Structure 1
Amino acid sequence: MAERNTGSHNGAPGGSGTLAGRRALVTGAGQGIGAAVARALAAQGAHVAATDRRAEGVEALAAEHAAAEHAVVDGGSKPGGITPYAMDVTDAAAVHSVVDTVTTRHGPLDILVNVAGILRPGPAAELSDEDWAATFAVNTTGVFHTARAVAPGMAARGRGSIVTVGSNAAGVPRVHMGAYAASKAASAMYTKCLGLELARTGVRCNVVAPGSTDTAMQRALWQDPEAPRRVIDGDPAAYRTGIPLGRIADPSDIAAAVLFLVSDPARHITMQELYVDGGATLR
Protein backbone atom coordinates (compact mmCIF):
# COMPACT_ATOMS: atom_id res chain seq x y z
CA MET A 1 0.00 0.00 0.00
CA ALA A 2 1.39 3.44 -0.90
CA GLU A 3 2.46 5.65 1.99
CA ARG A 4 0.43 8.86 1.95
CA ASN A 5 2.15 12.20 2.56
CA THR A 6 0.92 13.48 5.91
CA GLY A 7 3.63 16.09 6.29
CA SER A 8 6.20 14.00 8.14
CA HIS A 9 8.88 12.08 6.30
CA ASN A 10 11.34 9.38 7.21
CA GLY A 11 14.05 9.20 4.60
CA ALA A 12 17.62 8.09 4.15
CA PRO A 13 20.32 9.42 6.46
CA GLY A 14 21.44 12.92 5.59
CA GLY A 15 22.08 16.30 7.11
CA SER A 16 19.99 18.08 9.69
CA GLY A 17 17.31 20.57 8.69
CA THR A 18 13.71 20.66 7.54
CA LEU A 19 14.50 18.43 4.54
CA ALA A 20 16.91 16.05 6.26
CA GLY A 21 17.03 12.67 4.57
CA ARG A 22 15.14 13.71 1.46
CA ARG A 23 16.49 13.34 -2.03
CA ALA A 24 16.06 16.00 -4.70
CA LEU A 25 16.86 16.44 -8.38
CA VAL A 26 17.32 19.96 -9.73
CA THR A 27 17.70 20.74 -13.43
CA GLY A 28 19.59 23.77 -14.70
CA ALA A 29 21.63 23.78 -11.49
CA GLY A 30 24.86 24.96 -13.08
CA GLN A 31 24.15 28.64 -12.45
CA GLY A 32 21.59 31.25 -11.47
CA ILE A 33 18.27 30.15 -10.00
CA GLY A 34 19.04 26.45 -10.38
CA ALA A 35 22.26 26.74 -8.38
CA ALA A 36 20.49 28.81 -5.72
CA VAL A 37 17.74 26.17 -5.44
CA ALA A 38 20.30 23.36 -5.09
CA ARG A 39 22.12 25.29 -2.35
CA ALA A 40 18.89 26.02 -0.49
CA LEU A 41 17.73 22.41 -0.56
CA ALA A 42 21.11 21.11 0.57
CA ALA A 43 21.28 23.71 3.34
CA GLN A 44 18.09 22.18 4.74
CA GLY A 45 19.54 18.68 4.71
CA ALA A 46 18.42 17.27 1.38
CA HIS A 47 20.77 15.30 -0.82
CA VAL A 48 20.65 17.06 -4.19
CA ALA A 49 21.38 15.60 -7.60
CA ALA A 50 22.40 18.81 -9.35
CA THR A 51 22.01 18.46 -13.11
CA ASP A 52 22.89 20.64 -16.06
CA ARG A 53 23.68 20.17 -19.73
CA ARG A 54 27.18 21.47 -19.01
CA ALA A 55 28.94 19.43 -16.34
CA GLU A 56 31.37 22.20 -15.33
CA GLY A 57 28.78 24.32 -13.56
CA VAL A 58 27.33 21.57 -11.36
CA GLU A 59 30.79 20.17 -10.64
CA ALA A 60 31.89 23.59 -9.38
CA LEU A 61 28.69 23.85 -7.32
CA ALA A 62 29.31 20.45 -5.73
CA ALA A 63 32.92 21.35 -4.95
CA GLU A 64 31.83 24.64 -3.39
CA HIS A 65 29.28 22.82 -1.24
CA ALA A 66 31.77 20.17 -0.16
CA ALA A 67 34.17 22.89 0.99
CA ALA A 68 31.38 24.55 2.96
CA GLU A 69 30.50 21.22 4.61
CA HIS A 70 34.01 20.93 6.00
CA ALA A 71 33.67 24.39 7.49
CA VAL A 72 30.58 23.52 9.57
CA VAL A 73 31.38 24.00 13.24
CA ASP A 74 30.33 21.58 15.98
CA GLY A 75 26.72 22.11 16.94
CA GLY A 76 25.87 23.76 13.63
CA SER A 77 23.26 22.50 11.23
CA LYS A 78 24.77 19.81 9.03
CA PRO A 79 23.85 20.32 5.38
CA GLY A 80 22.93 17.61 2.93
CA GLY A 81 25.05 16.76 -0.07
CA ILE A 82 25.24 17.86 -3.69
CA THR A 83 26.21 15.38 -6.39
CA PRO A 84 26.74 16.68 -9.94
CA TYR A 85 25.33 15.03 -13.05
CA ALA A 86 25.55 16.09 -16.68
CA MET A 87 22.05 15.83 -18.14
CA ASP A 88 20.36 17.32 -21.19
CA VAL A 89 16.63 17.65 -20.43
CA THR A 90 15.80 17.57 -24.14
CA ASP A 91 17.11 13.98 -24.35
CA ALA A 92 14.46 11.64 -22.89
CA ALA A 93 16.80 8.64 -22.77
CA ALA A 94 19.48 10.66 -20.97
CA VAL A 95 16.95 11.90 -18.42
CA HIS A 96 15.75 8.38 -17.63
CA SER A 97 19.36 7.16 -17.39
CA VAL A 98 20.33 9.88 -14.91
CA VAL A 99 17.19 9.37 -12.82
CA ASP A 100 17.89 5.63 -12.69
CA THR A 101 21.48 6.30 -11.64
CA VAL A 102 20.46 8.79 -8.97
CA THR A 103 17.84 6.50 -7.44
CA THR A 104 20.25 3.56 -7.46
CA ARG A 105 23.01 5.54 -5.76
CA HIS A 106 21.01 7.70 -3.37
CA GLY A 107 17.50 6.26 -3.13
CA PRO A 108 14.08 7.26 -4.47
CA LEU A 109 13.53 10.92 -5.25
CA ASP A 110 11.27 12.99 -3.01
CA ILE A 111 11.67 16.33 -4.78
CA LEU A 112 12.00 17.44 -8.40
CA VAL A 113 12.66 21.08 -9.29
CA ASN A 114 12.55 21.99 -12.98
CA VAL A 115 14.71 25.07 -13.52
CA ALA A 116 16.50 24.45 -16.84
CA GLY A 117 15.47 27.04 -19.38
CA ILE A 118 16.65 29.11 -22.33
CA LEU A 119 15.61 32.44 -23.81
CA ARG A 120 15.71 33.18 -27.55
CA PRO A 121 14.26 36.73 -27.82
CA GLY A 122 12.93 38.20 -31.04
CA PRO A 123 9.79 39.56 -32.73
CA ALA A 124 7.02 36.97 -32.50
CA ALA A 125 6.36 36.92 -36.25
CA GLU A 126 10.05 36.66 -37.13
CA LEU A 127 11.24 33.82 -34.89
CA SER A 128 13.11 31.08 -36.70
CA ASP A 129 11.90 27.50 -36.62
CA GLU A 130 15.10 26.58 -34.80
CA ASP A 131 14.64 29.18 -32.06
CA TRP A 132 11.02 28.19 -31.53
CA ALA A 133 11.81 24.48 -31.41
CA ALA A 134 14.85 24.88 -29.16
CA THR A 135 12.91 27.03 -26.68
CA PHE A 136 10.09 24.51 -26.35
CA ALA A 137 12.51 21.57 -26.29
CA VAL A 138 14.15 22.88 -23.10
CA ASN A 139 11.45 24.92 -21.38
CA THR A 140 8.47 22.66 -22.00
CA THR A 141 9.48 19.22 -23.28
CA GLY A 142 12.34 19.16 -20.76
CA VAL A 143 9.80 19.52 -17.93
CA PHE A 144 7.75 16.70 -19.46
CA HIS A 145 10.80 14.43 -19.70
CA THR A 146 11.88 14.90 -16.08
CA ALA A 147 8.38 14.69 -14.61
CA ARG A 148 7.61 11.55 -16.62
CA ALA A 149 10.79 9.94 -15.31
CA VAL A 150 10.23 10.88 -11.66
CA ALA A 151 6.47 11.10 -11.02
CA PRO A 152 5.57 7.37 -11.23
CA GLY A 153 8.00 6.50 -8.45
CA MET A 154 6.69 9.30 -6.26
CA ALA A 155 3.10 8.21 -6.88
CA ALA A 156 3.91 4.60 -6.02
CA ARG A 157 5.40 5.71 -2.68
CA GLY A 158 2.52 8.09 -1.98
CA ARG A 159 4.58 11.23 -1.51
CA GLY A 160 6.67 13.77 -3.38
CA SER A 161 6.83 17.34 -4.55
CA ILE A 162 7.45 18.69 -8.05
CA VAL A 163 8.08 22.39 -8.63
CA THR A 164 8.49 23.94 -12.05
CA VAL A 165 10.20 27.32 -12.20
CA GLY A 166 8.27 29.19 -14.86
CA SER A 167 8.08 32.93 -15.46
CA ASN A 168 5.67 35.81 -14.91
CA ALA A 169 5.92 36.18 -18.71
CA ALA A 170 3.68 33.09 -18.86
CA GLY A 171 0.79 35.22 -17.63
CA VAL A 172 1.58 38.64 -19.08
CA PRO A 173 2.50 39.27 -22.76
CA ARG A 174 6.07 40.48 -23.26
CA VAL A 175 7.56 42.17 -26.30
CA HIS A 176 10.09 39.94 -28.12
CA MET A 177 9.42 37.01 -25.78
CA GLY A 178 6.78 35.11 -27.75
CA ALA A 179 8.52 31.73 -27.72
CA TYR A 180 9.76 32.05 -24.15
CA ALA A 181 6.40 33.18 -22.73
CA ALA A 182 4.47 30.52 -24.65
CA SER A 183 6.86 27.76 -23.56
CA LYS A 184 6.65 28.81 -19.93
CA ALA A 185 2.85 29.00 -20.07
CA ALA A 186 2.77 25.48 -21.50
CA SER A 187 5.09 24.07 -18.85
CA ALA A 188 3.07 25.74 -16.09
CA MET A 189 -0.20 24.23 -17.32
CA TYR A 190 1.41 20.82 -17.79
CA THR A 191 2.65 20.95 -14.19
CA LYS A 192 -0.84 21.82 -12.92
CA CYS A 193 -2.47 19.05 -14.96
CA LEU A 194 0.09 16.61 -13.60
CA GLY A 195 -0.70 17.84 -10.10
CA LEU A 196 -4.40 17.17 -10.63
CA GLU A 197 -3.76 13.63 -11.82
CA LEU A 198 -1.34 12.88 -8.96
CA ALA A 199 -3.19 14.61 -6.14
CA ARG A 200 -4.83 11.46 -4.77
CA THR A 201 -1.44 9.76 -4.55
CA GLY A 202 -0.11 12.46 -2.20
CA VAL A 203 2.24 13.99 -4.78
CA ARG A 204 2.07 17.79 -5.05
CA CYS A 205 2.92 19.82 -8.16
CA ASN A 206 3.35 23.60 -8.12
CA VAL A 207 4.85 26.43 -10.17
CA VAL A 208 7.06 29.33 -9.08
CA ALA A 209 6.88 32.23 -11.54
CA PRO A 210 9.80 34.65 -11.15
CA GLY A 211 9.95 38.11 -12.61
CA SER A 212 13.23 39.85 -13.50
CA THR A 213 15.97 38.10 -11.56
CA ASP A 214 19.69 38.88 -11.47
CA THR A 215 20.96 35.97 -13.55
CA ALA A 216 23.13 35.56 -16.63
CA MET A 217 19.95 35.22 -18.72
CA GLN A 218 18.64 38.54 -17.42
CA ARG A 219 21.97 40.33 -17.84
CA ALA A 220 22.19 39.17 -21.45
CA LEU A 221 19.17 41.39 -22.14
CA TRP A 222 20.81 44.50 -20.74
CA GLN A 223 22.45 46.57 -23.46
CA ASP A 224 23.54 49.58 -21.40
CA PRO A 225 24.15 50.61 -17.76
CA GLU A 226 20.64 52.07 -17.45
CA ALA A 227 18.90 48.82 -18.32
CA PRO A 228 18.44 47.63 -14.70
CA ARG A 229 16.86 50.96 -13.78
CA ARG A 230 14.42 50.66 -16.70
CA VAL A 231 13.44 47.20 -15.49
CA ILE A 232 12.63 48.60 -12.07
CA ASP A 233 10.94 51.79 -13.32
CA GLY A 234 9.12 50.20 -16.24
CA ASP A 235 9.32 50.75 -19.98
CA PRO A 236 6.18 52.18 -21.63
CA ALA A 237 7.67 51.62 -25.10
CA ALA A 238 7.74 47.89 -24.36
CA TYR A 239 4.32 47.96 -22.62
CA ARG A 240 6.03 46.88 -19.45
CA THR A 241 5.23 47.97 -15.91
CA GLY A 242 7.99 48.41 -13.38
CA ILE A 243 8.62 46.52 -10.15
CA PRO A 244 6.63 48.02 -7.25
CA LEU A 245 9.06 46.72 -4.64
CA GLY A 246 11.83 48.66 -6.38
CA ARG A 247 14.39 45.89 -6.74
CA ILE A 248 15.39 43.10 -9.10
CA ALA A 249 15.12 39.68 -7.50
CA ASP A 250 18.13 37.72 -6.35
CA PRO A 251 18.17 33.99 -7.25
CA SER A 252 17.91 33.25 -3.53
CA ASP A 253 14.48 34.94 -3.50
CA ILE A 254 13.22 32.38 -5.99
CA ALA A 255 14.93 29.53 -4.16
CA ALA A 256 13.15 30.53 -0.94
CA ALA A 257 9.77 30.17 -2.65
CA VAL A 258 10.74 26.75 -4.00
CA LEU A 259 11.98 25.70 -0.56
CA PHE A 260 8.62 26.59 0.96
CA LEU A 261 6.60 24.70 -1.67
CA VAL A 262 8.58 21.47 -1.22
CA SER A 263 8.44 21.67 2.58
CA ASP A 264 5.94 20.14 5.01
CA PRO A 265 4.29 23.50 5.85
CA ALA A 266 3.08 23.51 2.21
CA ARG A 267 1.65 20.00 2.42
CA HIS A 268 -1.87 21.17 1.49
CA ILE A 269 -0.75 23.27 -1.49
CA THR A 270 -0.83 21.85 -5.00
CA MET A 271 -1.55 23.03 -8.56
CA GLN A 272 -0.69 26.61 -7.55
CA GLU A 273 1.41 29.25 -9.32
CA LEU A 274 3.34 31.53 -6.98
CA TYR A 275 4.50 34.77 -8.58
CA VAL A 276 7.80 36.03 -7.15
CA ASP A 277 8.22 39.25 -9.11
CA GLY A 278 8.09 42.13 -6.65
CA GLY A 279 4.56 42.91 -7.81
CA ALA A 280 5.55 43.51 -11.44
CA THR A 281 2.50 41.76 -12.87
CA LEU A 282 0.18 43.63 -10.48
CA ARG A 283 -1.31 40.34 -9.25
Structure 2
Amino acid sequence: MPEHIPQEPGEFAGRTALVTGAGQGIGAAVATALAARGAHVVATDRDAHGIDELAAASRGTAGQVTPRVMDVTDPTAVATVIGDVVRDHDSLDLLVNVAGILRTAPVAELTDADWADTFAVNTTGVFHTSRAAAAHMTARGSGCIVTVASNAAGIPRTGMAAYAASKAAATMFTKCLGLEIARSGVRCNVVAPGSTDTAMQRSLWTDDEAPQRVIAGDPETYRTGIPLGRIAAPEDIAEAVVFLASDRARHITLQELYVDGGATLR
Protein backbone atom coordinates (compact mmCIF):
# COMPACT_ATOMS: atom_id res chain seq x y z
CA MET A 1 0.00 0.00 0.00
CA PRO A 2 1.17 3.57 -0.61
CA GLU A 3 2.76 5.30 2.34
CA HIS A 4 0.57 7.83 4.12
CA ILE A 5 1.72 11.39 3.49
CA PRO A 6 0.14 13.73 6.08
CA GLN A 7 -2.00 16.58 4.77
CA GLU A 8 -3.75 17.48 8.01
CA PRO A 9 -3.71 20.90 9.70
CA GLY A 10 -1.14 19.52 12.13
CA GLU A 11 1.20 18.14 9.50
CA PHE A 12 4.14 20.11 10.92
CA ALA A 13 3.52 19.09 14.54
CA GLY A 14 6.76 18.34 16.32
CA ARG A 15 8.86 20.19 13.74
CA THR A 16 10.91 23.33 14.23
CA ALA A 17 11.10 26.00 11.54
CA LEU A 18 13.15 29.17 11.32
CA VAL A 19 11.78 31.97 9.14
CA THR A 20 13.79 35.08 8.31
CA GLY A 21 12.15 38.41 7.54
CA ALA A 22 9.14 37.31 9.59
CA GLY A 23 8.26 40.76 10.90
CA GLN A 24 5.91 41.59 8.06
CA GLY A 25 4.65 40.66 4.61
CA ILE A 26 5.49 37.28 3.16
CA GLY A 27 7.70 36.28 6.09
CA ALA A 28 4.90 36.88 8.58
CA ALA A 29 2.45 34.96 6.38
CA VAL A 30 4.84 32.01 6.14
CA ALA A 31 5.40 31.93 9.89
CA THR A 32 1.66 32.13 10.52
CA ALA A 33 0.87 29.34 8.07
CA LEU A 34 3.48 27.00 9.53
CA ALA A 35 2.38 27.67 13.11
CA ALA A 36 -1.24 27.06 12.13
CA ARG A 37 -0.16 23.61 10.95
CA GLY A 38 1.57 22.76 14.21
CA ALA A 39 5.18 23.89 13.71
CA HIS A 40 7.23 25.61 16.37
CA VAL A 41 8.34 28.64 14.39
CA VAL A 42 11.34 30.72 15.35
CA ALA A 43 10.39 34.01 13.71
CA THR A 44 13.43 36.19 13.06
CA ASP A 45 13.85 39.76 11.91
CA ARG A 46 16.29 42.55 12.64
CA ASP A 47 13.40 44.57 14.09
CA ALA A 48 11.73 43.13 17.19
CA HIS A 49 8.39 44.93 16.82
CA GLY A 50 6.87 42.86 14.01
CA ILE A 51 7.94 39.47 15.32
CA ASP A 52 6.76 40.29 18.83
CA GLU A 53 3.32 41.15 17.44
CA LEU A 54 3.36 37.97 15.37
CA ALA A 55 4.12 35.84 18.41
CA ALA A 56 1.29 37.45 20.37
CA ALA A 57 -1.17 36.93 17.51
CA SER A 58 -0.21 33.26 17.15
CA ARG A 59 -1.24 32.28 20.66
CA GLY A 60 -3.93 29.65 20.52
CA THR A 61 -2.84 28.21 17.18
CA ALA A 62 -1.80 24.59 16.72
CA GLY A 63 1.88 25.51 16.90
CA GLN A 64 3.93 28.24 18.48
CA VAL A 65 5.87 31.31 17.38
CA THR A 66 9.02 32.36 19.23
CA PRO A 67 10.41 35.77 18.22
CA ARG A 68 14.16 36.18 17.89
CA VAL A 69 15.98 39.28 16.68
CA MET A 70 18.53 38.35 14.03
CA ASP A 71 20.33 40.22 11.26
CA VAL A 72 21.00 37.85 8.35
CA THR A 73 23.98 39.96 7.26
CA ASP A 74 25.82 39.08 10.48
CA PRO A 75 27.24 35.53 10.20
CA THR A 76 28.10 35.34 13.91
CA ALA A 77 24.56 36.30 14.92
CA VAL A 78 23.10 33.79 12.47
CA ALA A 79 25.30 30.97 13.76
CA THR A 80 24.39 31.85 17.34
CA VAL A 81 20.63 31.87 16.73
CA ILE A 82 20.63 28.63 14.75
CA GLY A 83 22.88 27.00 17.35
CA ASP A 84 20.44 28.08 20.07
CA VAL A 85 17.47 26.71 18.12
CA VAL A 86 19.15 23.32 17.70
CA ARG A 87 20.12 23.24 21.36
CA ASP A 88 16.71 24.28 22.66
CA HIS A 89 14.57 22.19 20.30
CA ASP A 90 16.92 19.30 19.47
CA SER A 91 16.48 19.95 15.77
CA LEU A 92 15.93 22.43 12.98
CA ASP A 93 13.68 20.84 10.40
CA LEU A 94 12.91 23.76 8.13
CA LEU A 95 14.54 27.03 7.09
CA VAL A 96 12.63 29.60 5.07
CA ASN A 97 14.70 32.49 3.71
CA VAL A 98 12.40 35.49 3.25
CA ALA A 99 14.40 38.51 4.48
CA GLY A 100 14.97 40.94 1.64
CA ILE A 101 15.31 44.59 0.71
CA LEU A 102 14.61 46.55 -2.49
CA ARG A 103 16.63 49.47 -3.84
CA THR A 104 15.35 50.75 -7.19
CA ALA A 105 17.22 52.93 -9.66
CA PRO A 106 18.57 52.78 -13.21
CA VAL A 107 21.98 51.13 -13.22
CA ALA A 108 23.71 54.44 -13.98
CA GLU A 109 22.22 55.87 -10.80
CA LEU A 110 22.76 52.90 -8.47
CA THR A 111 25.16 53.71 -5.67
CA ASP A 112 27.80 51.35 -4.38
CA ALA A 113 25.93 51.28 -1.07
CA ASP A 114 22.65 50.33 -2.76
CA TRP A 115 24.33 47.44 -4.56
CA ALA A 116 26.26 46.23 -1.51
CA ASP A 117 23.30 46.48 0.86
CA THR A 118 21.00 44.63 -1.53
CA PHE A 119 23.40 41.72 -1.93
CA ALA A 120 24.26 41.69 1.78
CA VAL A 121 20.64 40.90 2.69
CA ASN A 122 19.18 39.17 -0.37
CA THR A 123 22.13 36.95 -1.27
CA THR A 124 24.78 36.82 1.44
CA GLY A 125 22.07 36.60 4.09
CA VAL A 126 20.70 33.50 2.37
CA PHE A 127 24.22 32.06 2.33
CA HIS A 128 24.71 32.71 6.06
CA THR A 129 21.44 31.11 7.16
CA SER A 130 21.51 28.23 4.71
CA ARG A 131 25.11 27.30 5.49
CA ALA A 132 24.41 27.17 9.22
CA ALA A 133 21.12 25.28 8.84
CA ALA A 134 22.46 22.83 6.27
CA ALA A 135 25.32 21.77 8.55
CA HIS A 136 22.81 20.60 11.14
CA MET A 137 20.34 19.13 8.66
CA THR A 138 22.92 17.06 6.84
CA ALA A 139 24.23 15.67 10.12
CA ARG A 140 20.68 14.58 10.99
CA GLY A 141 19.95 13.25 7.51
CA SER A 142 16.79 15.29 6.97
CA GLY A 143 15.55 18.82 6.54
CA CYS A 144 14.24 21.35 4.07
CA ILE A 145 15.32 24.80 2.94
CA VAL A 146 13.03 27.10 0.96
CA THR A 147 14.30 30.41 -0.37
CA VAL A 148 11.76 33.06 -1.33
CA ALA A 149 13.34 34.81 -4.30
CA SER A 150 11.42 36.73 -7.00
CA ASN A 151 10.19 36.36 -10.55
CA ALA A 152 12.55 39.28 -11.23
CA ALA A 153 15.34 36.70 -10.96
CA GLY A 154 14.15 35.18 -14.22
CA ILE A 155 13.14 38.20 -16.31
CA PRO A 156 14.82 41.59 -16.76
CA ARG A 157 13.20 44.55 -14.99
CA THR A 158 14.03 48.20 -15.58
CA GLY A 159 15.21 49.99 -12.47
CA MET A 160 15.61 46.73 -10.55
CA ALA A 161 19.04 45.48 -11.59
CA ALA A 162 20.43 45.12 -8.08
CA TYR A 163 17.32 43.40 -6.73
CA ALA A 164 16.95 41.07 -9.72
CA ALA A 165 20.63 40.14 -9.73
CA SER A 166 20.64 39.47 -5.98
CA LYS A 167 17.57 37.25 -6.23
CA ALA A 168 19.01 35.38 -9.23
CA ALA A 169 22.17 34.72 -7.23
CA ALA A 170 20.17 33.51 -4.23
CA THR A 171 18.16 31.24 -6.50
CA MET A 172 21.18 29.56 -8.03
CA PHE A 173 22.93 29.34 -4.67
CA THR A 174 19.93 27.47 -3.24
CA LYS A 175 19.86 25.05 -6.15
CA CYS A 176 23.60 24.37 -5.94
CA LEU A 177 23.33 23.79 -2.21
CA GLY A 178 20.43 21.44 -2.83
CA LEU A 179 22.49 19.42 -5.28
CA GLU A 180 25.39 19.14 -2.84
CA ILE A 181 23.30 17.92 0.07
CA ALA A 182 20.57 15.92 -1.66
CA ARG A 183 22.18 12.59 -0.74
CA SER A 184 21.97 13.64 2.90
CA GLY A 185 18.19 13.71 2.62
CA VAL A 186 17.88 17.51 2.65
CA ARG A 187 15.72 19.27 0.07
CA CYS A 188 16.26 22.82 -1.23
CA ASN A 189 13.71 24.69 -3.33
CA VAL A 190 12.84 28.24 -4.38
CA VAL A 191 9.55 30.11 -4.48
CA ALA A 192 9.55 33.06 -6.88
CA PRO A 193 6.73 35.52 -6.18
CA GLY A 194 5.57 38.23 -8.52
CA SER A 195 3.89 41.43 -7.42
CA THR A 196 2.56 40.80 -3.90
CA ASP A 197 0.65 43.15 -1.62
CA THR A 198 3.43 43.92 0.87
CA ALA A 199 5.08 47.05 2.21
CA MET A 200 7.87 46.54 -0.34
CA GLN A 201 5.37 46.47 -3.21
CA ARG A 202 3.42 49.44 -1.88
CA SER A 203 6.62 51.48 -1.66
CA LEU A 204 6.60 51.48 -5.47
CA TRP A 205 3.06 52.82 -5.74
CA THR A 206 2.59 56.56 -6.19
CA ASP A 207 -1.22 56.80 -6.35
CA ASP A 208 -4.42 54.78 -5.99
CA GLU A 209 -4.28 53.63 -9.62
CA ALA A 210 -0.87 51.97 -9.22
CA PRO A 211 -2.23 48.46 -8.45
CA GLN A 212 -4.27 48.48 -11.66
CA ARG A 213 -1.24 49.59 -13.65
CA VAL A 214 0.73 46.66 -12.22
CA ILE A 215 -2.03 44.27 -13.27
CA ALA A 216 -2.36 45.83 -16.75
CA GLY A 217 1.38 45.97 -17.42
CA ASP A 218 3.50 48.73 -18.90
CA PRO A 219 4.87 48.48 -22.47
CA GLU A 220 7.16 51.47 -21.91
CA THR A 221 9.11 49.51 -19.29
CA TYR A 222 8.76 46.20 -21.18
CA ARG A 223 6.67 44.78 -18.37
CA THR A 224 3.82 42.37 -18.99
CA GLY A 225 0.73 42.47 -16.80
CA ILE A 226 -0.68 39.74 -14.61
CA PRO A 227 -2.87 37.33 -16.62
CA LEU A 228 -4.87 36.25 -13.56
CA GLY A 229 -5.87 39.87 -13.03
CA ARG A 230 -4.90 40.24 -9.39
CA ILE A 231 -1.94 41.07 -7.18
CA ALA A 232 -0.95 38.22 -4.89
CA ALA A 233 -1.64 38.27 -1.18
CA PRO A 234 1.24 37.23 1.09
CA GLU A 235 -0.79 34.13 1.98
CA ASP A 236 -0.64 33.00 -1.67
CA ILE A 237 3.13 32.84 -1.43
CA ALA A 238 3.03 31.24 2.01
CA GLU A 239 0.88 28.38 0.75
CA ALA A 240 3.45 27.57 -1.93
CA VAL A 241 6.20 27.59 0.70
CA VAL A 242 4.18 25.33 3.00
CA PHE A 243 3.64 22.83 0.19
CA LEU A 244 7.34 22.65 -0.71
CA ALA A 245 8.22 22.32 2.99
CA SER A 246 5.75 19.50 3.55
CA ASP A 247 6.05 15.76 3.10
CA ARG A 248 3.69 16.13 0.15
CA ALA A 249 6.71 17.53 -1.69
CA ARG A 250 9.16 14.95 -0.34
CA HIS A 251 10.45 14.08 -3.86
CA ILE A 252 10.84 17.69 -4.99
CA THR A 253 14.20 19.42 -4.77
CA LEU A 254 16.26 21.91 -6.83
CA GLN A 255 13.03 23.42 -8.16
CA GLU A 256 11.85 27.01 -8.62
CA LEU A 257 8.10 27.60 -8.30
CA TYR A 258 6.81 30.85 -9.80
CA VAL A 259 3.81 32.29 -7.96
CA ASP A 260 3.09 35.37 -10.04
CA GLY A 261 -0.32 34.93 -11.64
CA GLY A 262 1.36 34.16 -14.96
CA ALA A 263 3.18 37.51 -15.15
CA THR A 264 6.40 36.05 -16.52
CA LEU A 265 4.51 33.91 -19.08
CA ARG A 266 6.49 30.83 -18.01
| Global fold match (TM > 0.5) | yes
Q: 255, 260, 275: which is aligned to 2:238? A: 255
Residue 90 of structure 1: aligned partner: 73
Contact 2:5 2:248 in 1 (8 A): no
Paired with 1:111 and 1:20, the residues of 2 have a C-alpha distance of: 12
Paired with 2:188 and 2:65, the residues of 1 have a C-alpha distance of: 23
Tell me, yes or no, if structure 1 residue 65 matches structure 2 residue 48: no
Paired with 2:4 and 2:73, the residues of 1 have a C-alpha distance of: 33
Residue 153 of structure 2: aligned partner: 170
Paired with 1:190 and 1:22, the residues of 2 have a C-alpha distance of: 25
Paired with 2:107 and 2:158, the residues of 1 have a C-alpha distance of: 8
What is the deviation of 1:16? 6.5
Residue 14 of structure 2: aligned partner: 21
Contact 1:7 1:265 in 2 (8 A): no
- Give the 5 Å matches for 1:177-192: 177-192=160-175
Residue 108 of structure 1: aligned partner: 91
- Give the unaligned 5+ runs of structure 1: 1-5, 10-14, 70-77
Tell me, yes or no, if structure 1 residue 230 matches structure 2 residue 223: no
Paired with 1:16 and 1:206, the residues of 2 have a C-alpha distance of: 22
Paired with 2:107 and 2:55, the residues of 1 have a C-alpha distance of: 39
Matched letter for residue 10 of structure 2? G
Matched letter for residue 231 of structure 1? V
Contact 1:123 1:175 in 2 (8 A): yes
Matched letter for residue 227 of structure 1? A
Paired with 1:91 and 1:22, the residues of 2 have a C-alpha distance of: 26
Residue 132 of structure 2: aligned partner: 149
Q: 25, 40, 55: which is aligned to 1:47? A: 40
Contact 1:204 1:269 in 2 (8 A): yes
What is the deviation of 1:7? 8.5
Paired with 1:118 and 1:250, the residues of 2 have a C-alpha distance of: 18
Tell me, yes or no, if structure 1 residue 31 matches structure 2 residue 14: no
Q: Provide TM-score, normalisation by structure 2.
A: 0.96
Residue 72 of structure 1: aligned partner: none
Contact 1:7 1:264 in 2 (8 A): no
Per-residue Cα deviation, 1:153-212 (whole angstroms, up to 9, x for no partner) = 101111100000000000000010000000000000000000000110110000000000
Paired with 1:159 and 1:149, the residues of 2 have a C-alpha distance of: 14
Residue 136 of structure 1: aligned partner: 119
Per-residue Cα deviation, 1:88-141 (whole angstroms, up to 9, x for no partner) = 000000001111112222221000000000000000122100000000000000
Q: Provide TM-score, normalisation by structure 1.
A: 0.91
What is the deviation of 1:8? 7.0
Tell me, yes or no, if structure 1 residue 273 matches structure 2 residue 256: yes
Q: 192, 217, 226: which is aligned to 1:243? A: 226
Deviates further, 149-158 or 243-252:
149-158
Residue 3 of structure 1: aligned partner: none
What is the SS of the residue equivalent to 1:88? coil
Per-residue Cα deviation, 1:239-269 (whole angstroms, up to 9, x for no partner) = 1000000000000000000000000010000
Tell me, yes or no, if structure 1 residue 264 matches structure 2 residue 264: no
